[in-house]
Every structure is written in structure tokens, then in C-alpha cells.
A and B are shown apart, each in its own frame.
Chain A
């Protein structure tokens, strides 16, 4: 995949991230129950997005350093 596409995709992930953790995305998990893996829905949702953010950054870094080595 071309580096510019990867950058665009990662940027899109972070825009989604911003929408998912604020209004209106966070409305999806606003209700207090039921619990997910023993955690409140909102907490599980935020942890999920941190992991998605981490994955996106790892992918980005992989492609960036490969491009840097060429």
C-alpha cells in the first residue's frame, strides 16, 4: 500500500476516534448498563478505542519506517 494512503487511513481512524468518544458517537454507550466484560459500557468502549488508536499508530509506524529505510 502506498504511504500516502496509509497516512490518510490513519488520519480517518483518528477522526472516527474523536467522533466515537465525544458527542454524538458516545451516545451509543451512554446508558449505564448492561456491563461488558464486567466493565461499564462506556469504559469498555474507551478502552477499545485506545487499543484501536494504538493499532493504527503501530501500522503507521511500520509503513513510515519501511519508507524511511528505502
Chain B
């Protein structure tokens, strides 16, 4: 047998185990929409910890993280900075949202928002925003899986086939088991990812440079600019402090507002579990450290790589690691991709049906479940289509959507804490903030201090939300009490 046969065998075994776990998990949940979308609100600490952690750490963390460290140096540290900052407010906000969801029967973010601010337009707006933001996200995960399989099988399994195989499995367990399948596979994949990242992150600097210290001393000597904050931009010029700092703030504010994470508040068994998930999240964040070490290990060993995102698979192949390690690495990277892809696929379809269709077309539970399944399939096929065709500027789309997702922050906070907020104010703020974000995205030269467009969008959003709310009639007290006084 050739080398790549062995690698393929290990990967196949890993995929088999994942499928088995995903299918088995579904036996636990009820055949209702709450069962399919929110796991009957019965997730315990272990699953909540990994569903949050593994969902955040995507193919981007596994491939993009080392790529950034390799090409942009200290700029990559921003990923370390925002996670803990972003999750901390969730300690208070998450349980509140969960309580309201339990009481009023919500399973999505838009249901929660339109509960406080009744408007079908708002529901449709949040649903379309989510789908537009999430589709490129899934596409990147599928592409990541395809790339990994193609590289480690030395091109014998092309990108389209590898991506189809990995995501065929994801589709199967998401369709059969819903969010319960996502939860239990993420637990398995999360553990896998942690072990692989730490072992490679410690092993590669040792194998290539004789240790982490000597590795950084070498970089300090030959490429000191890489270790100086705030690092470099994609083109190799020094990054600005304004750009770096506002990227951290926007990512932190946006972290829990991504629909696939926000919705997980509705899956926790009780408040305590949700809180513990937040408390433990920083331990998952530390997992990014070894991932960055891998990228830095490549700086002096493999200089001048044109596609920095390939640094990790390239190093793995170049160093001639034992076959078992190559196979396990590949499975680890697939874990990262699939554990994000499954949650996002599931969220996209749930949101599209629950918030985009149901408010306009009343339907029973059974039909909803069927429609969500069709949605999962459709989203998977569309994203796969994008993933295997070259030339789509996905990263661009993803970056834009990040700024737009952040605009949900004032709306969520107003829904929970500000009695005087009104539907008109929420809508006007969201539209104004979203448009301002897009405008600054396409006119980067006009951004003061190189600030992130999402932050500038917020600067427009907040005054509009305040002014329009105060100018329109307040909501009835009894209605507001169901959201604010919990």
C-alpha cells in the first residue's frame, strides 16, 4: 500500500465514527420542532461546552490561524484577544435569553427579537441577514475539508470528491438527528481537535527548530517585524492600531450574535449549564495558541509560500511525519471544518424556515420539520456548489457579513434592557447601522483611523435607535415586562 492509502484509511475510520455518533444521537430527541432545532432544551455541560467551543473553532482556526501567523505575524493575536472578551457578557445575557425562550417557546434569534419588537419585516430581515451571512461560512468550511483531503492524499482524492464525502456525512446526521447530532459529534470532534492541535503545536517547533524558544529567537533575528504588534496586513505592510483594535472589538461584540451560537442558548438544560459553558470557554480559547505555534514554525522552515492557508498541510507533508500522525491531523482538520459546518447548516435552515417562511405561512409542527430538512439539504447543495467553483470572493462576503451581524447587538440589548425601545426604533437602527456598515466597507478610504466598518455602523445605529424609539409611542408595560423584568 502507498502512503496516501494509509492516510485515507485513517480518515475513513474517523468519518465512520463521526457518522455513527451523529446517527445514534438522534434517538435521544423528540420528533418535534423543539427537538430538532433546540434538542428539547436538554443539553448538559459537556455537550454545551463542546458545541460552543467546536462551533467557534472552524476550518478558519485550523487552516487560517496558522496561515495568518505565517504571513501576518502578530496580527494573528487578535483572534486570541476577542474570544474571552466576547463570551463574558453572555454569562448574564445567555440565561436571560434562555429563560425568555423557555417561557415563550422561542427557538431562534429572530423569534426572540420579534417577540419584543413585533414586525414580520424584522423577522424577514434577520432571517435574510442570517442566511446571507451563514452561506459563505458553510462554503468556506466545505472548501477547507476538500483542501485538506486533497493535499494529504497527494491529489488522488480531488477537492470536489473529498468535500462531497465529508459533507455527505454531515448532511446525513444533521438530517436524521437535528441539533442533537450536531451536539454529540461536536463533542467527539472537539476532543479530537484539542488533542491534535496541542500535540502538533508542541511537536512541530521541536522537530523543526529544537523548541518553541529557539524558534521565536530565530524569527526575532531574521523577521522581527512579524513579532511586533499589531502585525502586518495581507499585503505585508504594517497593520494600523485602529484597524487591529477595532477588529478585536467588532469580533468580540459579534461573537455570540452569530445565529448558530445565539440559538444554542435555547438548547441548554438550565441556566447553570449555560453559565458554566461561558466560564469554561477561555480554556477552549487557549487551544488557538498551539495552532499559532504551527504557523510560526513554518516562517523560517518554508519561507515564501504563496498560499499561506496551505502552510499547515504543507508542513505536515514536508516534515515526513509518521503516517498515523498525518492521518490524525487530517481527521483533526476535518473535525474543525465539520463541527462548524454542521451547526451552521442546521442554523441556516432552521432560521430560514422559522423566521423567513413561518411568519407568512402558518404551518404545523410536522411540516416545519420537513421544511427545515429540505432547507438543510438545499443550503448544503448551494454551499457545495460555491465551494467547488473557483472565483467566488467568499472571504469578502464573510467579512462584510461580520460587520452586519454586529448590528444585532444594540437590538438584542435594547430588547432585554431598555423599556423605552420601540419596534420602529429597532428597525430604523438596524437598517441605518447595516447600510452605514456596507457604505464604509465599500469606501474604506473614508473610515477614520482605519476603524472597522462594523464599529462605524454601530456609531450610526445607536443614535438612530435612541432617537426613533423616543420619538415613537412606548410599548405597553405588560408586553415589555415579559422581556425586561426577568
Contact = CB atoms under 8 A, between A and B. Distances in A.
14 contacts: A18-B85, A22-B241, A26-B245, A32-B227, A33-B220, A33-B227, A38-B212, A38-B216, A39-B216, A42-B77, A43-B74, A43-B292, A65-B272, A68-B272
A42 B242 CA distance: 17
Contacts of A60: 91, 279
Interface in A7-59: 14, 17-18, 21-23, 26-27, 29-33, 35, 37-40, 42-43, 46-47, 49-51, 53-54, 57-58
B245 A22 contact: yes
A29 to B, nearest CB: 7
A9 B286 CA distance: 24
Interface of B: 74, 77, 80-81, 83-85, 88, 91, 211-213, 216-217, 220, 224-230, 241-242, 244-245, 248-249, 252, 272, 275-276, 278-279, 282-283, 285-286, 289, 292
A22 B216 contact: no
Residue of B77, B84, B285, B292 most packed against chain A (CB within 10 A):
B84
Contact of A54 (B241, B245, B282): B282
Nearest to A51: B282
Contact of B85 (A17, A54, A58): A17
A33 to B, nearest CB: 5
A40 B227 contact: yes
Contacts of B220: 32-33, 35, 40
B282 A50 contact: yes
Residue of B77, B242, B248, B275 most packed against chain A (CB within 10 A):
B77
Contacts of A46: 77, 80-81
Q: What interface size band does chain A fall in?
A: 20 to 34
Nearest to B223: A32
Nearest to A64: B275
Contact of A38 (B88, B211, B286, B292): B211
Nearest to B272: A65
A30 B224 CA distance: 11
B300 to A, nearest CB: 14
A30 B225 CA distance: 10
Contacts of B276: 61
Residue of A14, A18, A49 most packed against chain B (CB within 10 A):
A18
Of all A-B residue pairs in the complex, the 8 with the closest CB atoms, nearest first, are A38-B213, A22-B245, A32-B227, A21-B81, A54-B282, A53-B84, A30-B229, A23-B241
Contacts of A27: 229, 241
A35 B80 CA distance: 18
Interface of B, helix, strand, loop or mixed by DSSP: helix
Nearest to B212: A38
Contacts of B278: 57
B211 A22 contact: no
Contacts of A51: 282
Given A32-B227, A43-B77, A50 B285 contact: yes
Interface of A: 14, 17-18, 21-23, 26-27, 29-33, 35, 37-40, 42-43, 46-47, 49-51, 53-54, 57-58, 60-61, 64-65, 68
Contacts of A49: 81, 84
Contacts of A21: 81, 85, 248
Residue of A22, A37, A39 most packed against chain B (CB within 10 A):
A22
B77 to A, nearest CB: 5
B289 A58 contact: no
B80 A50 contact: yes
Given A30-B230, A32-B227, 10 more contacts: A17-B84, A38-B213, A47-B80, A53-B84, A57-B91, A57-B279, A60-B91, A60-B279, A61-B275, A65-B275
Contact of B249 (A14, A22, A39, A47): A22
A32 B275 contact: no
A14 B230 CA distance: 21
Contacts of B91: 57, 60-61
B74 A53 contact: no
Contact of A26 (B225, B230, B289): B230
Contacts of B279: 54, 57-58, 60-61
A70 B23 CA distance: 42
A1 to B, nearest CB: 18
A27 B244 CA distance: 12
Contacts of B272: 65, 68
Contacts of B245: 22-23, 26
A43 B275 contact: no
A14 to B, nearest CB: 5
B77 A23 contact: no
Residue of B224, B229, B230, B275 most packed against chain A (CB within 10 A):
B229
B9 to A, nearest CB: 37
A40 B77 CA distance: 11
Nearest to A45: B77
